[in-house]
Amino acid sequence: MMREQSRQPMIDSWIQWILLFGILCIPLITRAKALLFISPEIMVNIANTGLKADVYSYYKWCLLLFITTVLVILFSIKLLSGYRIKQSFINIPLVLLTLCLLISATTADYKNLALFGMYNRYEGTLTYLCYYTLFFIAANTCFNNKSFFTKAFIALSLVIGVNAILNLSVFFDYRSINEAVATSLVIPDELSTAKTHGIIYGTLSNPNYYSGFAGGLLAFFFYVAACTNNVRLKVGGYLLVVISFALLLSSLSSSGFISFAVILPVMIIVLIVKAQNKRKTTVTVISLLATMSLVFWGMNSFNPRVYDETLKLMAPMQQTASIIFNNKEFNLVRLAEANTDTKVNEPINEFDLPEIKTTAGTGRVYIWQKTMELIKNSPLYGYGLDTFLYNFPQNDKHLMSNIGETNTYVDKPHNMYLNFAYGTGIVGFGALLCLLVLYILKVGEKVIKSNEGSVNLIATFFFCLTFMIQFLFNDSVIGTSIVFWILMGYSVSQLDNIC
């Protein structure tokens, strides 16, 4: 028995290394893959049956499944070695979440889709089971605290650095670097002869995800730079604050900025209250904010949309609609006015269509309203995760008057919480909220009682808080959610004193 228990530290060490591998590699892996997709419905769009191409999700998903499988095996060996699962506030919510996921998948109309997810997202039941498994295993791992935190810091700096280089190269129009990466690393040989071209903004599929991820890491690095006494971490944190903020701005999306702006006052209060040398901490905070202001000024001077998507908190509304035909732009309003001077005395109103425009949150409020209507129609079990495209009213004529386009299909609610309620029902949604609220209360209490030296726990806590806020505007994606669930499990491990 003693020999078996002595194996637990070694197993925990392996688990830590695999979790670090996931934090580093899953957000970065980006590779084109041609896949045969069988649509559950006949739709004349990219979601119809046929050969599809995915760049950002397939290999991330495969690696997520592989890592989860290995960790489950290691954790099983740990249990057989005599480890007993600790009583924790996460246990009951995780059991409920797992049950709701399984029930929603089995009762969904599109069971295969609910299990695996869309070909370009893979945010189905299997993926969420992997998230919760990694979270649970991390929460039951005895971490070498300083060592793991430093290694996670380095891994996250590499992730944010790669994405910043690619995104900023597009922002500042240095696209030769970007195109070289896209053609040499992203496109495999079997697809190189196809008509593949374009640019790659980074290793995530949407500017909203860069913004939300950068906002969370900005809070993480900001606290480390302002609080740690480790010179290397302080200097590295300061540099990574600049890089994270530059990535956030270059994404031209508001979600990360709003999330960081909400959490920043709380973070500054915690920093100053817990600081032994309040003057030094205050100077550091002011220095960080001043540097961020210079970055903002420089990037906004290059592209004024930076202001529109941050301080203005909304993109400029498109006042007129236009179409492009044969490389020529035609203004629809002017065409309509010109067509009134015809031989027809009275206008023919064959179609009563609303004006093409974008509403609040680039159409998010409209999508949220429609999502809540769907939830009301199936409140108990939901529709199954990642089946949103086939249940959303795509033919609603008011879609164009909220989204601003006529050829756009809504495939996600742009809100992780609503998406989970849609996919698993209100019971699953309640279990998720219970887990997150308990995390905030329990870890928040620990943060309040901790001293200035608890940089690891507090920085991770602020990352998770910021990420929860950005989930109000963004969906879950494998490349970023993996980091959130692992770091949240790490902080729970520190709270429950697993060692």
Does residue 341 lie within any of the structural domains? no
CA nearest to 412, candidates 379, 361, 364: 364
Residue type, 243: I
Rounded CA gap, 224 and 237, in Å? 6
**Tens digit of pLDDT for each residue in 139-160?**
999 998 778 999 999 999 999 9
Q: Is residue 116 part of a domain?
A: yes
Whether 358 is covered by a domain: the verdict is: no
Instruction: Examine residue 33 and state whether it is found in any structural domain, yes or no.
Output: yes
Give the chain's largest Cα–Cα span: 97
Instruction: Decide if 377 is inside a domain.
Output: no
Q: According to the model, what pLDDT value does residue 139 have?
A: 95
Which pair of structure tokens corresponds to residue 356? Answer: 């093409």
In a domain? residue 474: yes
Percent of the chain with pLDDT over 90: 57
38 vs 127 pLDDT, higher one: 127
Give yes or no for residue 298 having a pLDDT over 90.
Answer: yes
Give the count of beta carbons closer than 10 Å to the beta carbon of residue 195. 5
Whether 159 is covered by a domain: the verdict is yes
Range of the domain at 478: 2-313+413-496
Q: Total domain count for the chain?
A: 1
Predicted pLDDT of residue 277: 84
Residue, of 450 and 457, whose pLDDT is higher: 457
pLDDT confidence of residue 50: 82
Average pLDDT over residues 300-311: 90
CA-nearest of 91, 35, 90 to 59 is: 35
272: nearest Cα among 285, 259, 290? 285
CA dist., res. 409 & res. 389, Å (int):
7
DSSP string for 34-53? EEEE--SS--SSTTSSEEEE
- Rounded to two decimals, the pTM is 0.88
Answer yes or no: is 383 within a domain: no
Residue 50: burial class (beta carbons within 10 Å; 0-12, 13-18, 19+): exposed
Cα separation of 228 and 454, whole Å?
Answer: 9
